[in-house]
Amino acid sequence: MDKMTLHRMEYYGYHGVFEEERKLGQRFYVDLELELDLQTAGLNDDLTQTVNYAEVHETVKNIVETKSFKLIEALAEHIASVLLDTYTVINAVTVKVTKPHPPFDIHFQGVTVELRRTRK
């Protein structure tokens, strides 16, 4: 299966277990791997036969920046569900959500969840 990958899209969202996170917000990174047939679009040089990645970016931006989840796992699930429901040419999607600066007293570069969902 062909793939389209969107790397390290950056958004500002209000997700976290702690009330302060949902109030103040923070940066999040989202990576997507979309599995779909790219051959027809490639042979015909036709955007209508593929997924417009600018639209995908805006779809994800709307989710990350207007919704609020306690867990980045829930955020990733919602992104996957919306993408599969919205873009019927996508057969499977891998969503990676990174919270680069979780509010802990330990030092590390962030936490990431990654999930893959397929069309049912």
- Consecutive 10-residue runs of the chain (120 residues): their mean pLDDT? 97 94 94 97 97 98 98 98 97 97 76 94
Amino acid in the structure at residue 95: V
Residue 31 burial (C-beta neighbours within 10 Å; 0-12, 13-18, 19+): middle
Sign of CA dihedral 42, 45, 49, 55: positive
CB atoms within 10 A of CB 30: 24
Considering the entire predicted model, what is its pTM? 0.94
Domain range annotation of the chain: 3-118
Task: Tell me which of 3, 96, 99, 120 is the catalytic residue.
Answer: 99
Phi/psi for 111 (5° steps) reads -130, 140
State the pLDDT at residue 101. 83
120 catalytic, yes or no?
Answer: no
Phi-psi region of 110 (alpha: psi -120 to 50; beta: other; left: phi over 0): left
Query: How large is the C-alpha radius of gyration of the chain?
Result: 15
At the second CATH level, the architecture of 3-118 is 2-Layer Sandwich (3.30)
